[in-house]
Amino acid sequence: MMMQDIDKLENRSIYIMREARSKFKNLAALWSMGKDSTAMLAVARKAFFGKVPFPVIHIDNGIDFPESYKFREEVAKKWNLDLIVAESQIKKELSGFSCCGANKTVALKKLMKERGFDALIVSIRRDEHSIRAKEKYFSPRSGEFKWNYKAQPTEMWDNYTSALDKGSHMRIHPLLDWNEIDIWNYTKREKIPVNPLYYSETGQRYRSLGCTHCTTSVKSNAKNLDQIIRELEGTKKEERGGREQDKEKEYIMERLRSLGYM
Amino acid sequence: MKEIAVTLLGEKDHGKSTLIGNMLIATGSATKERVAEAKRAGGAGFEPAFVLDSFTYERKRGMTLDTTRAQINFKDAIISFIDVPGHLELINNALGGASGAEIAIVMVSAKEGEGFQKQTKRHIFIANMLGMRGIFIAVNKMDALGYRRERFDRIKDEISGYMEEIGFEGHIEFIPVSAYGNENIITKSKKMGWYGGGPLVGRIYDFFSAIGSAQTGEGTRMVVQDTMELGGKDAAMGMLYYGRIRVGDRVRIEPSGREAVIGRIHSNGKETKSTSAVRNIAVEFDGDAGRLERGDILYGKDERPWQKGRFTALIYMTGKPKQGSGLTLRFNNTDFRANRLEITRFSDATSAWKESKAGQRLKANTAFEGEVTLDKDPPVEKFSKYRELGRFSIYSDNDFCGFGIVR
Ligand SMILES: Nc1nc2c(ncn2[C@@H]2O[C@H](COP(=O)(O)OP(=O)(O)O)[C@@H](O)[C@H]2O)c(=O)[nH]1
């Protein structure tokens, strides 16, 4: 796995977040308590003099891991976060992506409307999934959350678009350039709190976190950050391998739908 | 770890995806799962490019999304290909990646009926304008010509002639390759003994190692991005692109020309006495520095901007501006309107420059040189010296329609 210069990455992310705060009146960020969005909050604290200057949203379907809830309370308190918990429903008849995807989307749409957020910071990385490689730093989404993939704004020389059509909002991706291993190197260097689910206790750990219904663990003996980093240096496996296959398919189908392909 | 940002240009079907696919496989940079999955999906019709394509669904439906990113591990370097253009011929897709790259690979298929085409000329023209430090012309599909050198030489002559016509002064190399057969890509091909140089990736690595990614400008330049209240006073946040700032330094705030003294510096989340480029920092001033605005630039106190609000520019239009809506020039995410544009010469980006006639209009796929007057007087610098302060993207009614550099 390819390790990049984390100072450079951090600088770019700070630039993007400062740009987001400057361009949008009502900015918020999504926080899943996972490694990426937690690292994003750590960068935000650096960008804004120790304080995260925007509300942080957890879309909670009530079936996240107990460890995650505990982690949420600890970090929110430690970093003095303006935390918004948006309750999302679980529907029995749905599973996989339609369960944690569709329902979370409904909850988020409702919240966005109520609070009038015009921009959302989302901690996706290009190396996470090949569909992500096509993302931009500032990416407009329609009121229906559609990603008009074909008409993406050209981002030359870090000049981003901030123009929005009525009812739409901007997705901002400050971690787009980071790789999985960079996140861990940064987490280690900056001593960022880590959700304990990433560590192995009984020969298994999580590489990527969803809710209890669709996340599965991977074989691993990594019990601390150094061991995670060492493990990733040698890995030839995809990060999302820990998610169930059929659910991974649904995920892709859902992305394609949002691209307007089906 | 070296990081080399490369843009891959060239006409559709000349072999760009094949090249990246094979590089990913040959350097072990793609996960085994990905390669196996691509082979399974491709079956007998497997192509190296499948490794690059997003996923099975995309391929099965014959949909190819437009851009992607790939990273190749080579020696102690990561070679990043950003926004590799796919099958869409719109240049807009390639510009994001190309603008962040220092090196360009231009694929030109030597196969009969393919060769040096109009679109490729445009790509080279743009790569030249973007100030690429090196352009590597990969003359591809040499296998289809029995690896003979005649057509390679002819294409090399053609391209060299064109480069001269458009006034290219940078570094250029020609490398005969077979992207499909992996010849002269990672290792030197034994099938083209007549070619004395190294393989494509090795040449890029050596060239980059020799030049480094050096900054060219002297002095201090910090572009103000935003302000934030800290302890009752405004701190200015922004990119320190050039030079060094220390507590106690007297700086000049352009365009107003006011002077101020640096009181405190925040860099990467910590307070510090001194910091250097390139970094996104924040500064507080001693005493009253007056109001700072987005787009202001801090200079060393004895330094002056090259121009303010009026300058000679080279612009490239990718689209036609909307009737009656004028042009917006975006410098470091700050917008200015172009009040006047006096064009002196133009080129269709496939042939030499021509003197412009009176009343010359802007049109797509055309480059223009002329005098720009903005609605305000922001400081600008020559692109050749201070890249980040001498470049802009162009919008018409919020739609991207071109880009430009300060001469
Ligand atoms: N003979 C030959 N064919 C090639 C070579 N490289 C690519 N091709 C073929 O040219 C076609 C277009 O290649 P592709 O990589 O998709 O081009 P792109 O549109 O520039 O990305 C495919 O059918 C490839 O198999 C090569 O080195 N030799």
Q: pLDDT class for A165, splitting at 50, 70, 90?
A: confident
CA distance B167 to B169: 6
The number of folded domains in chain A is 2
Whether pLDDT at A252 is above 60: no
What chain A residue is nearest to B78 in terms of C-alpha separation?
A: A2
List, chain by chain if needed, residues with CB within 6 Å of any ligand 1 atom.
B 10, 12-18, 47, 49, 87, 107, 140-141, 143-144, 178-181
Query: Percentage of residues in chain B with pLDDT exceeding 70?
Result: 93
The pLDDT assigned to A262 comes to 34
CB contact under 8 A, B33 and A236: yes
Q: How confident is the model over A17-37, as a mean pLDDT?
A: 94
Whether pLDDT at B178 is above 80: yes
Q: Per-residue pLDDT tens for A172-223? A: 999 999 999 999 999 999 999 998 888 888 888 888 776 555 566 788 888 8
Among partner residues B55, B69, B225, which is closest to A252 by beta-carbon distance?
A: B55
CA distance A222 to A232: 10
A257 touches chain B (CB under 8 A): no
Domain map of chain B by residue range?
A: 2-211, 221-300, 307-406
Residue the block writes with tokens 């609070």: A115
CB contact under 8 A, B403 and A133: no
Q: Do domains B2-211 and B221-300 have the same CATH topology?
A: no
Please list every residue in chain A whose beta carbon sits closer than 8 Å to the beta carbon of residue B99: 156-157
3-state SS assignment for residue A215: strand
Both A70 and A19 in one domain: the answer is yes
The pLDDT assigned to B61 comes to 46
CB contact under 8 A, A50 and B3: no
Higher pLDDT, B214 or A84: A84
A143 touches chain B (CB under 8 A): no
Both A91 and A16 in one domain: the answer is yes
Distance set, CA A94 to CA A64, A100, A213, A247, B117 (Å): 16, 9, 11, 11, 53
Query: Percentage of residues in chain A with pLDDT exceeding 70?
Result: 78
* Domain B2-211 bears CATH identifier 3.40.50.300: yes
Three-class HEC string of chain B: CEEEEEEEEECCCCCHHHHHHHHHHHCCCCCHHHHHHHHHHHHHHCCHHHHCCCCHHHHHCCCCCCEEEEEEEECCEEEEEEEEECCCCCCHHHHHHHHCCCEEEEEEECCCCCCCCHHHHHHHHHHHHCCCCEEEEEEECHHHHCCCCHHHHHHHHHHHHHHHHHCCCCEEEEEECECCCCECCCCCCCCCCCCCCCCHHHHHHHHHHHHCCCCCCCCCEEEEEEEEEECCEEEEEEEEEECEEECCCEEEEECCCEEEEEEEEEECCEEECEEECCEEEEEEEECCCCCCCCCCEEEECCCCCCEECEEEEEEEECCCCCCCCCCEEEECCEEEEEEEEEEEEEECCCCCCEECCCCCCCCCCEEEEEEEEECCCCEECCCCCCHHHCEEEEEECCEEEEEEEEC
Task: Classify domain B221-300 at the CATH topology level.
Answer: Elongation Factor Tu (Ef-tu); domain 3 (2.40.30)
Q: How confident is the model over A229-237, as a mean pLDDT?
A: 79
Both A130 and A220 in one domain: the answer is no
Q: How far is A226 from chain B (nearest CA, A)?
A: 19
Please give the number of the atom of ligand 1 that sits closest to the Cα of B21. 15
Q: Per-residue pLDDT tens for B65-81? A: 455 678 888 999 999 98
Is residue A115 in a domain? yes
The pLDDT assigned to A213 comes to 54
Q: Suggest the residue from B2, B280, B386, B387 to mutate for an interface test with chain A (most A CBs closer than 10 A).
A: B280
Q: How far is B299 from chain A (nearest CA, A)?
A: 20
Both A126 and A12 in one domain: the answer is yes
Q: What is the ipTM of this complex?
A: 0.90
A29 in Cβ contact with A182 (< 8 Å): no
Q: Per-residue pLDDT tens for B314-345? A: 999 999 999 888 999 999 999 999 999 999 99
**What is the span of the domain harbouring residue A127?**
6-178+247-258
* Domain B307-406 bears CATH identifier 3.90.1640.10: no
The pLDDT assigned to B327 comes to 95
Q: What are residue B224's DSSP bridge partners?
A: B238
Please list every residue in chain B whose beta carbon sits closer than 8 Å to the beta carbon of residue A19: 225-226, 333
CA distance B38 to B332: 40
Q: How far is B250 from chain A (nearest CA, A)?
A: 24
Q: Ligand 1: distance of its center to the CA of B64 in Å?
A: 15
Both A133 and A41 in one domain: the answer is yes
Both A75 and A110 in one domain: the answer is yes
Tell which A residues from 73 to 112 touch B, by Cβ distance under 8 Å: none
Side-chain-facing half-sphere of A81: CA atoms under 13 Å: 27
Strands B2-10 vs B77-85: parallel, antiparallel or unpaired:
parallel
Among partner residues A2, A10, A236, which is closest to B78 by beta-carbon distance?
A: A2
Q: pLDDT class for B168, splitting at 50, 70, 90?
A: confident
